[in-house]
Amino acid sequence: MKFRIGFVSNSSTSSFVIIGLMVDHDKLYITKKQRRCGCAVENIESMTYCSKCGKPVMEEAESPIPEITNHKIGGYHVHCINDCHIISIPETYKTDDDYAMNKVEIPENWDEIKENMKSVLEPLGLWDDDKFGVWSGLEGNY
């Protein structure tokens, strides 16, 4: 008979470790009003509901700030893990759902990496010294 130490559940979670800067959702996303349907209706701007399909004419939609393209900002990857956003230095994201132990290598040039990231993200108003570090947690549904 086998025993497993640790918690076992049917949920699909993975533990992760990442080095980078945690940034508030509101700093990375902006909410804009946009047309909801694509119906060609005259004077639709004056309507609350589309006269053709009945849907509200406008809806609020979130989009990333323009500095983010393809989940990257200034060459750094933007990870969205659950409701958190971490801008990571390359190659530091590790995830594992197999109860294994993973060694996390702390880069020798830690200070240099931090200063480089700060020089890119501080002008964008995203830098917070306390939010830079090694982050760990669980991701997925639980």
Q: Which residues bind Zn ion (CB under 5 A)?
A: 37, 39, 50, 52-53
When the beta carbons of 59 and 129 are compared against Zn ion, the nearer one is: 59
When the beta carbons of 56 and 75 are compared against Zn ion, the nearer one is: 56
- Token pair for 48: 């609350």
**Phi, psi for residue 29 in degrees, rounded to 5:** -130, 145
Query: What is the closest distance, in whole angstroms, from the C-beta atom of residue 57 to Zn ion in the complex?
Result: 8
Query: What is the closest distance, in whole angstroms, from the C-beta atom of residue 45 to Zn ion in the complex?
Result: 13
Who's near 120: CB < 8 A, 6+ residues apart? 73, 74, 75, 76
Determine the residue type at 87: I
Query: What is the closest distance, in whole angstroms, from the C-beta atom of residue 46 to Zn ion in the complex?
Result: 14
